[in-house]
């Protein structure tokens, strides 16, 4: 079933000194990034495909902003160079490998970059069929709202999830990390070769009429899950009841703004960078 795809994206810096979240959307004839738009009209890309990228720089390691920008730009360049109406999971996976290699090369050329990295989510949507594929590494959440149900599609790459992500029981070293550093990352795009533990969509995922995909950095998780679901439920109802392009886009934008406003209203002194990308599907009239 074909669907019309709509999206809305924005970010806040929170209380951090730098903005280390980077997102990009490849849609139609443009690449959209915070504060800029790249015109691709001369390339005549297949317009049934759109791609949504989010990298969250690892601020504690230094140069997280550069790692995130480098990763996103590498993925954008690879996907545009290999764009087709059948762009798929394999293309996303290969782009992620190249992004990790780019970070590895940057660290090798400049020792001050040692330890830099980022989390990453990449999603491709085919409006001709509603097909959706994704890849993920790190701890940024990817959620899908279908009707009254919202579920997380990916699993955080943190030590307490070691077995769930890898399928392996922890050895002595891993068991110690699980016990003492359960919420710390064990995988990201940090230039370590080969790239391991990338999580990918399994089976067939389809965006149906009224579905909303949420791609966010972990700064959004200061909102407890119940309140986040409340925000999504009311906004999703408005989105599903919208019946024309402008109104549909307004509903999606309102939902995105509502999420970020909830984060800002908490006024947390340690608030992390927070980015939200919403992708919604509506059946053509």
Query: What is the number of other CB atoms lying within 10 angstroms of the CB of residue 58?
Result: 23
C-alpha–C-alpha distance, residues 208 and 83, integer Å = 24
C-alpha–C-alpha distance, residues 70 and 117, integer Å = 10
The CATH number assigned to the domain with range 4-154+182-280 reads: 3.60.40.10
Sign of CA dihedral 94, 100, 105, 106: positive
Find the radius of gyration of the CA atoms of the chain: 18
Residue 57 tokens read as: 């720089």
CA-based nearest residue to 210, from 239, 234, 235: 239
pLDDT of residue 35: 87
pTM: 0.94
Q: Where are the alpha helices (DSSP H) in 17-111?
A: 64-81, 89-109
- Rounded to 10 degrees, the C-alpha dihedral 67/70/73/75 comes to -70
CA distances 198 to 36, 89, 134, 234, 240, Å, are 29, 12, 10, 33, 33
C-alpha–C-alpha distance, residues 200 and 122, integer Å = 10
Sign of CA dihedral 155, 157, 161, 162: positive
Instruction: Write out the chain's pLDDT in tens, 285 residues.
Output: 899 999 999 999 999 999 999 999 999 899 999 989 999 988 878 899 999 999 999 966 679 999 999 999 999 999 999 999 999 999 999 999 999 999 999 999 999 999 999 999 999 999 999 999 999 999 999 999 987 788 899 999 888 888 788 888 878 887 787 688 778 888 999 999 999 999 999 777 899 999 999 999 999 999 988 888 777 777 788 888 887 666 889 999 999 999 999 999 999 999 999 999 999 999 997
3-state secondary structure of 54: strand
What does DSSP assign to residue 190?
S
Helix axes 64-81, 89-109, angle to 10 degrees: 140
Sign of CA dihedral 257, 66, 6, 121: negative
- Give yes or no for a contact between 7 and 27, defined as CB atoms under 8 angstroms apart: yes
pLDDT of residue 245: 63
Query: What is the number of other CB atoms lying within 10 angstroms of the CB of residue 193?
Result: 9
For 139, phi then psi, to 5°, come to -125, 20
3-state secondary structure of 113: helix
Instruction: Give me the residue spans of the domains in the chain.
Output: 4-154+182-280
Strand-pair partners of 284: none
Residue 250 tokens read as: 């307004």
Could you please report the per-residue DSSP string of 94-106?
HHHHHHHHHHHHH
Residue 193 tokens read as: 């070769």
Residue 243 tokens read as: 């019946």
């Amino acid at each position: 079933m074909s669907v019309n795809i709509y999206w809305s994206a924005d970010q806040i810096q929170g209380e951090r000194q730098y903005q280390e979240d980077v997102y990009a959307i490849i849609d139609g004839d443009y690449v959209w990034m915070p504060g800029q738009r790249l015109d691709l009209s001369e390339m005549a890309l297949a317009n049934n495909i759109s791609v949504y990228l989010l990298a969250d720089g690892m601020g504690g390691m230094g140069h997280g902003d550069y790692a995130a920008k480098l990763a996103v730009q590498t993925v954008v360049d690879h996907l545009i160079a290999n764009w087709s109406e059948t762009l798929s999971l394999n293309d996303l996976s290969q782009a992620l490998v190249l992004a990790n290699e780019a970070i590895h090369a940057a660290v090798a050329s400049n020792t001050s970059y040692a330890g830099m990295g980022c989390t990453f989510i990449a999603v491709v949507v085919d409006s001709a069929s509603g097909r959706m594929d994704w890849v993920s590494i790190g701890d940024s959440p990817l959620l899908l709202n279908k009707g009254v149900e919202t579920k997380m599609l990916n699993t955080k790459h943190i030590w307490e999830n070691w077995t769930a992500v890898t399928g392996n029981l922890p050895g002595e070293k891993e068991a110690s990390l699980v016990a003492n550093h359960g919420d710390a990352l064990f995988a990201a795009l940090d230039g370590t070769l080969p790239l391991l533990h990338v999580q990918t969509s399994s089976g067939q995922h389809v965006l149906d009429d009224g579905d909303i995909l949420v791609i966010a950095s972990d700064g959004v998780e200061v909102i407890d899950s119940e309140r986040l679901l409340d925000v999504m439920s009311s906004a999703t109802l408005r989105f599903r009841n919208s019946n024309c392009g402008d109104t549909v886009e307004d509903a999606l934008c309102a939902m995105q703004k509502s999420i970020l406003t909830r984060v800002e209203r908490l006024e947390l002194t340690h608030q992390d960078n927070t980015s939200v990308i919403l992708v919604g599907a509506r059946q053509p009239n």
